[in-house]
C-alpha cells in the first residue's frame, strides 16, 4: 500500500481494498491481526498516516494492528476494542550503528474465543551476533519508556 513517508500519498483505493479483505477475514476467522510495514525510520513517533490506516483496519474488523519498519519501537493505542502497536522495533537485524536499532519488543497475545483479552510486551535487545536476547530490567524499562512516550490511553500506563 502506498503511504507517506516512503511511497507517496496514502492510496485510498488500496486502503479500501485492504479494509474489504479484513472485513471478509473477520467474517471467517476468530482473530484478525494485521501486520503493516509503515512509518518513518528512526523515530518513536507514529505518522498520522499510520493512525489513519490503523483506524480503517480496526473499523473493518482487525483485532490487532502490529506494525514494523521504523527500526525503533513506537507507541500503542486502543481503537475501539482493537489494539494498535505502531512499531515493534527490530527483531533480527544487523543494524549496529545506533543503540535504538538494537532494541525491540515482541508481544504475547492472549485470546478467548473471538476476543484478544491481554497483550503483554516483552522487551529485548539484539546482541553482537544479531540475535534478540532477554535484557536487564533497567534496559527493558528504557525500551518501555520509549513506547509510553508516544502511546495513547490506556497503553500509556504499560508496565
Q: Quote the pLDDT of residue 141.
A: 95
Its pTM stands at: 0.91
Task: Give the model's pLDDT for residue 56.
Answer: 98
- Look at residue 139 in the predicted model and tell me its pLDDT: 94
**All three cell numbers of 133:** 536476547
In this predicted structure, what is the pLDDT of residue 102?
A: 85
Mean pLDDT by 10 residues, the chain (159 residues): 84 96 98 95 92 97 95 93 94 70 91 92 89 93 92 71
Question: CA 118, CA 105: separation in Å to the nearest integer?
Answer: 15
- R_g (Cα) of the chain, nearest Å: 16
H or E element, residue 2: none
Whole-Å CA distances, 145 to 40, 58, 109: 19, 25, 21
The confidence score (pLDDT) of residue 154 equals 74
β pairing state of 82-88 and 64-66: parallel
Looking at residue 61, its pLDDT comes to 98
What distance in Å separates the CA atoms of residue 21 and residue 39, rounded to the nearest whole number?
22
Amino acid at each position: 500500500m502506498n503511504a507517506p513517508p516512503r511511497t507517496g500519498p496514502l492510496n485510498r483505493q488500496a486502503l479500501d481494498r485492504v479494509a474489504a479483505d479484513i472485513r471478509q477475514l473477520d467474517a471467517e476467522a476468530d482473530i484478525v491481526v494485521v501486520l503493516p510495514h509503515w512509518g518513518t525510520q528512526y523515530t518513536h513517533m507514529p505518522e498520522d498516516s499510520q493512525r489513519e490506516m490503523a483506524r480503517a483496519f480496526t473499523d473493518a474488523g482487525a483485532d490487532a494492528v502490529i506494525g514494523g519498519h521504523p527500526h525503533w519501537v513506537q507507541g500503542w493505542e486502543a481503537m475501539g476494542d482493537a489494539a494498535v502497536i505502531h512499531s515493534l522495533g527490530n527483531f533480527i537485524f544487523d543494524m549496529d550503528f545506533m543503540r535504538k536499532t538494537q532494541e525491540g519488543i515482541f508481544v504475547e497475545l492472549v485470546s478467548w474465543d473471538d476476543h484478544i483479552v491481554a497483550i503483554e510486551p516483552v522487551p529485548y535487545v539484539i546482541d553482537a551476533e544479531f540475535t534478540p536476547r532477554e535484557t536487564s530490567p533497567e534496559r527493558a524499562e528504557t525500551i518501555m519508556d520509549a513506547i509510553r512516550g508516544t502511546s495513547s490511553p490506556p497503553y500509556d500506563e504499560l508496565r
